[in-house]
């Protein structure tokens, strides 16, 4: 129980990577506050955390809204007395060719992925500084932010590049408070959002989605896409004692798609 008595906040926790991360943290002893815009899904995640023997709170929040971020953090502290770990996971995308990206697409994606991630990180960091006991911030970026050409769209890649950049700067400025800030960069991961994006891509190309799924596996050196639990395992490591001297780093979990 490496995270016993720790309180974690996970955004975008209703399904996919966020749900897997929440359950993995709970399995290591953390109490987990889970948030999402879909209250039914995040409620299910909260129940699953409690079934693992850990306290949990489900919060309906849109990280693109600063008032929601403030409320989310306030309810976490009121409910558990503190925050030790933030997993900044909430994110959105869809398949869009570069010539078809419109202002509305750009603003919608960056509102959640870049703006939401930054202000959630900032708000939690204020709490960690106030507590005076350090903490862990884990941002979920993407290999798209490192230029992976198979990204869903350029606006998404730019938003995840922003997450990587803010991770570096936050780590350099929050280190004096013993706050570690790192990012995980998933590659192809078997989530509902990713599979929906692949279906959109297949439709635009006029090919069976099965063909694209087969090509995906062929491009990955290790021969398989991530399960959400692969990302969760890295999050647990970065939240634990073994990563106490790791900060300002980005970790690809992608089967070898991007090797830098």
Are 182 and 250 within 8 A, CB to CB? yes
Closest CA to 216 of 202, 229, 230, 203: 202
Starting at the edge strand found earlier in the chain, the sheet holding 85-88 runs 56-60, 31-36, 7-10, 85-88, 135-140, 179-186, 250-253
Asked if 156 is an active-site residue, the reply is: yes
Structure tokens given for 182: 């790192």
Which position among 95, 148, 156, 168 bears the catalytic label? 156
Report how far residue 153's alpha carbon sits from residue 156's, in angstroms, rounded to the nearest whole number.
Answer: 5
Beta strand residue intervals within 39-127, DSSP E = 56-60, 85-88
Report how far residue 22's alpha carbon sits from residue 87's, in angstroms, rounded to the nearest whole number.
Answer: 9
Are 15 and 191 within 8 A, CB to CB? yes
Residue found by looking up tokens 């959400």 in the block? 228
- Distance (Å) of CA 168 to CA 64, 108, 138, 149, 165: 22, 24, 12, 23, 5
Q: Catalytic residue positions? A: 156
């Amino acid at each position: 129980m490496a995270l016993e008595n720790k309180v974690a906040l996970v955004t975008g926790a209703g399904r996919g990577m966020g749900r897997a991360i929440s359950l993995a943290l709970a399995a290591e002893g953390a109490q987990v506050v889970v948030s999402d815009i879909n209250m039914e899904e995040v409620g299910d995640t909260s129940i699953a955390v409690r079934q693992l023997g850990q306290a949990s709170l489900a919060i309906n929040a849109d990280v693109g809204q600063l008032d929601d971020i403030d409320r989310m953090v306030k309810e976490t502290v009121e409910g558990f007395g503190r925050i030790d770990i933030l997993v900044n996971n909430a994110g959105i995308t869809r398949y869009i060719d570069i010539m078809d990206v419109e202002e509305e697409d750009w603003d919608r994606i960056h509102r959640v992925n870049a703006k939401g991630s930054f202000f959630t990180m900032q708000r939690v960091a204020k709490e960690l500084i106030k507590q005076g006991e350090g903490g862990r911030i884990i941002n979920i970026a993407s290999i798209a932010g490192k230029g992976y050409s198979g990204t869903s769209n350029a606006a998404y890649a730019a938003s995840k590049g922003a997450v990587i950049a803010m991770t570096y700067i936050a780590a350099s400025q929050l280190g004096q408070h013993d706050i570690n800030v790192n990012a995980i960069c998933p590659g192809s991961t078997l989530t509902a959002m990713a599979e929906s994006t692949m279906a959109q891509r297949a439709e635009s190309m006029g090919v069976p989605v099965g063909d694209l799924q087969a090509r995906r596996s062929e491009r990955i050196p290790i021969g398989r896409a991530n399960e959400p639990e692969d990302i969760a395992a890295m999050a647990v490591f970065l939240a634990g004692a073994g990563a106490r001297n790791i900060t300002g780093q980005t970790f690809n979990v992608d089967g070898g798609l991007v090797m830098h």
